[in-house]
Amino acid sequence: MPGVGIGQQRPSQADREALAVLLSVDGVGPLTLGRLVDRLGSPAAILEAAAGTGGAIAILDGSRATDGEWRTMPRAVAAAIVVAAGNRTRLLDDVRSSGLRIVARGDAEYPSRLLQIDIPPPALFVRGSLESLTRQHVVAIVGTRRPSTAGRRTSSRIATALARADATVVSGLAVGIDGAAHAACVTEKVPTVAFIGGGHARLFPKAHDRLADAIVEGGGAVVSEYAPSVEPTKGTFPQRNRLISGSADAVVVVEAGARSGALVTASWALEQGRECFLLPGSIDWPTSAGCNGFLRDWHGLARIVSGIPQLLDDLGLAASAGLPDAAERGVPIRSTVALPSAKAVLAGRDAAQVAVAEALVHGAVTADEIVAVTRLSIGAVLGALTRLEAAGLARPVHGRYEPLGPLAAADPAAA
């Protein structure tokens, strides 16, 4: 097993810093680093070797595969390590000035679930606290970056239900399903963890910088296995996906198109022995094609989400009391997690706002529809929408309106 050398004992501060320097080199990943550590002893030792005379040769030699084959890293990478060793101070300043901590394998804080996966990252660059990953239940919610309005709300509701059932939600900070899941946790004021597919200094998507700040302020963390300056690329996201599934007990795919990256996460989950849940959808709906296809291809392994209480139940979390006709259908109800009702969320708001908010919860999306349902004047509807938006309960998306925050998590059946 490559890389077992790292993390067998508690790493020293010098090792952590050495890891940060080495990981900032383009071409050095967990595998190369593992081989180097096996041969040279520790990350700090690698840097020493690089800084010494004939550094590049020593490094090249150290990277030779131990399985007998004469394979080394490319010369250019070895040379880059020598350069990085020279720039050590500046690289570490970058890390520190971005407010990042380096959590290396072997540190107590290193997520224990990640140690069980095939190629655990040698070190994580962390903004915030990883404590929430030590909870008993950690669930990943992933999905398309271009969800339907309904999919976005479903993501919010599942995340809210999980948060209320004391599970930690992890995801990938992308726009769409990921963002909705994180935002629901922020609204619920519980920690959530985001694994990003590039360096912290290259946060992608930029539009989620406020969300990232809110996650960190809320006691959660934004985590990357890449050094701060690493650009996110097509290749980094699928690699990152193994951390999302690997740090959780189960992955829930809310909506995924036929070629969605969320399916990569689902595949990782099966490979890593995690549970994998997908929400089925209409066969005519492009945003559900990936979920439906995956359920068909992995029949017997991938599981269906037939409702939020059922999901909680399947995950071994308390089931929701908000399951309307569960008793009739003989579904066991174990308990107590209830999604917020629209009424409770809207307490203290005037009649127009309540009417408009309820129309939104019940599926009205355009101003025309809200006017038709509420019979208010267009001016009054628009005014109410402004108030709801200011309160973080609704927002416009390309001319349509959707509930947001606690209102997005509100159970339409209970409203």
Told to check if 145 binds another protein by CB under 8 A, we report yes
Q: Residue 213 or residue 314: which is nearer to another protein going by CB?
A: 213
**AA identity, residue 72:** T
Considering only residues 86, 387, 412, 414, which one is a binding residue for another protein as defined by CB under 8 A? Answer: 387
Residue nearer to another protein on the CB measure, 301 or 397? 397
Question: Please, which residue, 203 or 384, has the CB nearer to another protein?
Answer: 384
Instruction: CB nearer to another protein: give 319 or 360.
Output: 360
| Own/partner long-range contacts of 5-8 (Cβ < 8 Å, ≥24 apart) | 5/34, 5/37, 5/38, 6/33, 6/34, 6/37, 6/43, 6/104, 6/105, 6/106, 6/122, 7/104, 7/105, 7/106, 7/110, 7/115, 7/120, 7/122, 8/106
300 touches another protein by CB under 8 A: no
Give residue for tokens 């935002």.
183
What is the x/- site pattern for another protein, positions 2-41, by CB under 8 A? ----------------------------------------
Span near another protein by CB under 8 A; candidates 23-31, 35-43, 129-137, 283-291: 283-291
SS (H, E, C) the chain: CCCCCCCCCCCCHHHHHHHHHHHCCCCCCHHHHHHHHHHHCCHHHHHHHHHCCCHHHHHHHHCCCCCCCCCCCCHHHHHHHHHHHHCHHHHHHHHHHCCCEEEECCCCCCCHHHHCCCCCCCEEEEEECCHHHHCCCEEEEECCCCCCHHHHHHHHHHHHHHHHCCCEEEECCCCCHHHHHHHHHHHHCCCEEEECCCCHHHCCCHHHHHHHHHHHHCCCEEEECCCCCCCCCCCHHHHHHHHHHHCCCEEEECCCCCCCCHHHHHHHHHHCCCEEEECCCCCCCHHHHHHHHHHHHCECCEEECCCHHHHHHHCCCCCECCCCCHHHHCCCCCCCECCCCHHHHCCCCCHHHHHHHHHHHCCCCCHHHHHHHHCCCHHHHHHHHHHHHHCCCEEEECCEEEECCHHHHCCCCCC
**Of residues 379, 198, 262, the one with CA closest to residue 370:** 379
Q: Which is nearer to another protein, 39 or 152 (CB)?
A: 152
373 binds another protein (CB under 8 A): no
Closest distance to another protein from the beta carbon of 27 (Å): 28
The single residue among 149, 229, 310, 335 that binds another protein, judged by CB under 8 A, is 149
Q: Is 378 in the site for another protein (CB under 8 A)?
A: yes
Tell whether residue 186 is a contact of another protein (CB under 8 A).
yes
The span of 11-19, 81-89, 222-230, 362-370 binding another protein (CB under 8 A) equals 362-370
Q: Is 357 in the site for another protein (CB under 8 A)?
A: no
Q: Are strands 123-128 and 101-104 parallel, antiparallel or unpaired?
A: antiparallel
- The residue type of 197 is G
Using CB under 8 A, pick the residue from 177, 404, 410, 415 that binds another protein.
404
Shortest Cβ 202–another protein spacing (Å): 15
Identify which of residues 115 and 378 has a Cβ nearer to another protein in the complex: 378
Report in angstroms how near the CB of residue 285 gets to another protein at its nearest: 7
Least distance in Å: CB of 28 to another protein? 30
Position 191 contacts another protein (CB under 8 A): no
- Residue 1 or 390: the one with the smaller Cβ distance to another protein is 390
Return d(Cα 85, Cα 56) in angstroms, integer: 11
148 is a contact residue toward another protein (CB under 8 A): yes
Shortest distance, CB of residue 387 to another protein, whole angstroms?
6
Positions in 161-180 near another protein (CB under 8 A): 175-176, 179
Q: According to CB under 8 A, which residues from 197 to 256 bind another protein?
A: 205, 207-208, 210-211, 214
- 55: contact with another protein by CB under 8 A: no
Asked whether position 396 contacts another protein by CB under 8 A, the answer is: yes
Interaction between residue 349 and another protein (CB under 8 A):
no
Q: Which is nearer to another protein, 101 or 387 (CB)?
A: 387
User: Which span (78-86, 246-254, 317-325, 403-411) binds another protein, by CB under 8 A?
Assistant: 403-411
Q: State the residues that interact with another protein by CB under 8 A.
A: 145-146, 148-149, 175-176, 179, 183, 186-187, 205, 207-208, 210-211, 214, 285-287, 365-368, 371, 378-380, 382-387, 389-393, 395-400, 404-406
